Structure 1
Amino acid sequence: MKRHRVHKTYQEINEKIKQGKAVVVTAEEMIDVVARHGDVEAARKIDVVTTGTFSPMCSSGAFLNFGHTSPKIRASRVWLNDVPAYGGIAAVDCYLGATEVVEGDPLNSVYPGEFNYGGGHVIQDLVSGNLIRLRAEGYGTDCYPSRKFEKNITLNDLRDAILFNPRNAYQNYNCAVNMSDKTIYTYMGVLRPRMANANYATSGQLSPLFNDPYYRTIGIGTRIFLGGAQGFVAWPGTQHNPNVIRGKNGVPKEGAATIATIGNLREMSPEWLVGASILGYGVSLYVGIGIPIPILDEEMARYTAVKDEDLYAQIYDYGMDYPKGAAKSLGEFSYKDLRSGGIELNGKKVSTAPLSSYYKAREICEFLKEEIERGNFLLGEPQQLLPAVD
Structure 2
Amino acid sequence: MSKYAVEKSFAQINARIKSGEVVVVTAEEMTAIVQEKGAVAAAREIDVVTTGTFAPMCSSGAMINFGHSVPGIKASHVLMNNVPAYGGVAAVDCYLGATEACLDDPLNKVYPGEFRYGGGHVIQDLVAGKTVYLEATAYGTDCYPNRRIEKKVTLQDLPNAILCNPRNGYQNYNVAVNSTKKTIHTYMGTLKGRMGNANYCSAGALSPLFNDPTYRTIGLGTRIFLGGGVGYVTWHGTQHRPTVERAPNGTPVRPAGTLWVMGDLKQMSPRWLVGVSIQGYGCSLAVGLGVPIPILNEEMARYTGVADDALFTQVIDYGEAYPNGDSTSLGQVSYAELKSGAITIDGHTIPTVPLSSMVRAREIAETLKEWIRAGNFQLGEPQFTLPMEAV
What is the percent sequence identity of the aligned residues? 62
Structure 1 position 248, deviation (Å): 3.2
**What is the aligned partner in structure 2 of residue 322 from structure 1?**
322
Q: Describe how 1:159-170 pairs up with structure 2 within 5 A.
A: 159-170=159-170
CA contact (8 A) 2:84 2:100 kept: yes
Q: Which runs of 5+ in 2 are unaligned?
A: none
The aligned counterpart of 1:28 is 28
Give the Cα separation in 2 of the matches to 1:14 and 1:152: 43
Alpha-carbon distance, 1:52 to partner: 0.6
**TM-score w.r.t. structure 1 length?**
0.97
1:80-114 Cα distance to aligned partner (Å, 9 max, x none): 000000000001000000000011549989959x6
> Is 1:270 matched up with 2:270?
yes
- Report what 1:261 is aligned to: 261
Cα RMSD of the aligned pairs, angstroms, is 1.6
Match of 1:152 in 2: 152
TM-score normalised by the chain length of structure 2: 0.97
> Where does residue 201 of structure 1 map in the other structure?
201
Q: CA deviation at 1:6?
A: 0.3
SS at structure 1 position matched to 2:136: strand
Distance 1:110 1:333, change over 3 A: farther
Aligned AA for 2:336? K
CA distance in 1, matches of 2:106, 2:209: 35
1:179 maps to amino acid: S
Q: SS at the partner of 1:58?
A: coil
Q: Distance in 2 between matches of 1:206 and 1:55?
A: 13
Q: Contact 1:133 / 1:150 at 8 angstroms: preserved in 2?
A: yes
The aligned residue for residue 302 of structure 1 is: 302
Give the superposition deviation at 1:330: 0.7
Do the aligned residues in 2 keep the contact of 1:109 with 1:280 (CA within 8 Å)? no
C-alpha contact (below 8 Å) 2:163/2:265 kept by paired residues:
yes
**Partner-residue secondary structure (3-state), 1:336:** helix
Superposition deviation, residue 32 in structure 1: 1.0
Hey, which bits of structure 1, 4+ residues long, moved more than 2 A? 104-112
CA distance in 1 between partners of 2:388 and 2:322 (Å): 27
Q: 1:217 and 1:110, CA in 2 relative to 1: closer, same or farther beyond 3 A?
A: farther
Structure 1 residue 160: deviation in Å? 0.3
Matching residue of 2:364:
364
Task: Provide Cα deviations, 1:296-341, integer angstroms capped at 9, x if missing partner.
Answer: 0000000000110011111111111111112311111100101111
What is the Cα deviation at residue 143 of structure 1?
A: 1.1
* Distance of 1:39 and 1:389 partners within structure 2: 27
Contact 2:115 2:283 in 1 (8 A): no
Give, in whole Å, the separation in 2 of the partners of 1:248 and 1:124.
Answer: 41
Contact kept, 8 Å, 1:78 with 1:84, in 2: the verdict is: yes
* Residues in 1 aligned to 2:253 and 2:110: alpha-carbon distance in whole angstroms: 33
Q: 1:343 to 1:107 in 2, by over 3 A?
A: farther
Matches within 5 A, 1:1-390: 3-105=3-105, 116-389=116-389
- C-alpha displacement of 1:38: 0.8
- Distance across 2 between alignment mates of 1:157 and 1:22: 39
Between Structure 1 and Structure 2, how many residues are aligned?
A: 389
> 2:249 is paired with a residue of what secondary structure?
helix
